[in-house]
Amino acid sequence: MDSEPTVFVVDDDDTIRASLRFLIESVGLRAQTFSSAQAFLENYDPAEPGCVVLDVRMPGMSGLELQDELNAQGIEIPVIIVTAYGDIQMAVRAIKAGAVDFVEKPAGEQALLDQIQKAIAKDSEIRETRADQQVVTDRFERLTPREREVMELVVDGLSSKEIAAQLGVSFKTVEAHRAKIMKKMEARSVPHLIRLSLSLRRP
């Protein structure tokens, strides 16, 4: 899939959609517009990088409801709320739900572009972290059940002697398991193994 980020504009106002698309494309970014939250949901592929510029008040599904739905589906694409002055309280609620920022209408062009660039950078960071976590998960899945058990005890700070006593096996057996764990997890040291383990637990 093409990795070029897209700015997804969701607004029921035709004029605003066209204006935002022109602005976004004028700085070399790709833009895609939707007239409703439902249309965006039906067409968006979570594998596509980018961010969402989202109006709060729209017929049917509101911007806040769309945000709730994205959260429910585990879609982490950064959202920028564009709101009228009277919607500031709603925008604050959107921020608490995970929106990266909100911009008041009429939005200043440079202010909006700055927020879009920040949101795209955040999306890239999220995707990179997720990819790194998947690499670690794939390594972890190569471990046997016993190796996973030993790894958990190593991460908890137990020595090989203590692990041997707890599992009822020999010291040499634990050392052999540890060596395989370090190799399969591609861990350079025990502190590195602990960091890898923490990344597995991170949502």
Determine the Cα–Cα distance for residues 69 and 66; give it in Å rounded to an integer.
5
Residue spans in the chain of domains classed CATH 1.10.10.10 = 142-201
Determine the Cα–Cα distance for residues 89 and 189; give it in Å rounded to an integer.
49
Determine the Cα–Cα distance for residues 27 and 162; give it in Å rounded to an integer.
61
Predicted confidence (pLDDT) per residue in 49-77, tens digit: 999 999 888 888 888 899 899 989 988 89
Determine the Cα–Cα distance for residues 79 and 94; give it in Å rounded to an integer.
9
Predicted confidence (pLDDT) per residue in 17-27, tens digit: 999 999 999 99
Residue spans in the chain of domains classed CATH 3.40.50.2300 = 6-130
Say what the pTM is.
0.72
Determine the Cα–Cα distance for residues 165 and 167; give it in Å rounded to an integer.
6
Q: Measured in Å, how far apart are the chain's first and last C-alpha atoms?
A: 25
Predicted confidence (pLDDT) per residue in 127-148, tens digit: 888 888 889 999 999 999 999 9
Determine the Cα–Cα distance for residues 119 and 77; give it in Å rounded to an integer.
9
Which of 49, 76, 79 lies closest to 64, judged by CA? 79
User: Does CATH place domain 6-130 in 3.40.50.2300?
Assistant: yes
Q: What is the mean pLDDT of the chain?
A: 89
What architecture (CATH level 2) is domain 142-201? Orthogonal Bundle (1.10)
Q: Considering only 85-89, 129-133, 168-172, which range has the smallest mean pLDDT?
A: 85-89
